[in-house]
Amino acid sequence: MRIAVVSDSHGSWREAEQALAALKPLDLLLFAGDYYRDPWRWAQREKVRVAAVIGNCDWGARGPEEELLELGGTRILLTHGHRYGAKWGLERLFFRGLEAGAKAVVFGHTHVPVATYGEGGLLLFNPGSPSHPRGGNGGSIGLLEVERGLITPRLYKIDELKARRAGQSAAKIHFDDRDEMSYNI
C-alpha cells in the first residue's frame, strides 16, 4: 500500500499537488492537519482516499483531532501533534503511539521532516510542510509503503519531486545516514 503523507499546507495546496503527481500511484493520502480542507478536492479528482485530522490552525473546521487507522494489518496513529507538544520533543507522541498500539505515529505541526524510531520500533513520522517549511529543509512531503507489517518511510523534497516529474531523478531527504529506512515492526 502506497500512502502519501502531507501536513501543514496552510491553504497553499499547489506545491503538495505538484509533488504528489510524482508519487503516483497512491492508495491513500494521510493529512496531518493545518488546513484540513486542503486535500479533499485533489483527492476527489484523483480518486484517492483521504484520512485527515485537524490542526491548531483549523479554526472552525469539523474533523477529528486524531485517527487510529488499520492499514494493511498495520496500525497508524494520525494526529497533528500540537496537543502532544511536538515542537518541544517527541516523547508524548511516542507514548501516545504505544498506548494506541500503533506501529507508526504520523504527525505535523513542526513543519520539519522527521523519520525516526523509538524503542520497540515505533516509527515517528512527520512529512514537514510542502509550502511553509522550517529548519532550512525546503518544502517536503512523505510516503509510507506498508506491506506485510513492514513500513518503509520516505521523505521527499518538493523541488526534487518536481524535477522527477520533469524527467529528472529525485533524491530523498537523507536521515540516519540512509536514503530510506525499513523496519519490520
What are the CA-CA distances from residue 55 to residues 5, 49, 106, 108 (Å)? 15, 19, 13, 8
Which pTM was predicted?
A: 0.87
Give the three-state DSSP class for 159: helix
Peptide bond into 25 cis (omega under 30): yes
Of the candidates 162, 167, 145, the one whose C-alpha atom is nearest the C-alpha of residue 154 is: 145
CATH of region 2-184: 3.60.21.10
CA distance 9 to 146: 24
**73-130 pLDDT per residue, tens:** 899 999 999 999 999 999 999 999 999 999 999 999 999 999 999 989 999 999 999 9
Give the pLDDT of residue 33.
85
Residue corresponding to grid cell 520533543: 89
φ/ψ of 130, rounded to 5, equals -70, -25
Length of the chain: 185
Per domain, the residue ranges of the chain are 2-184
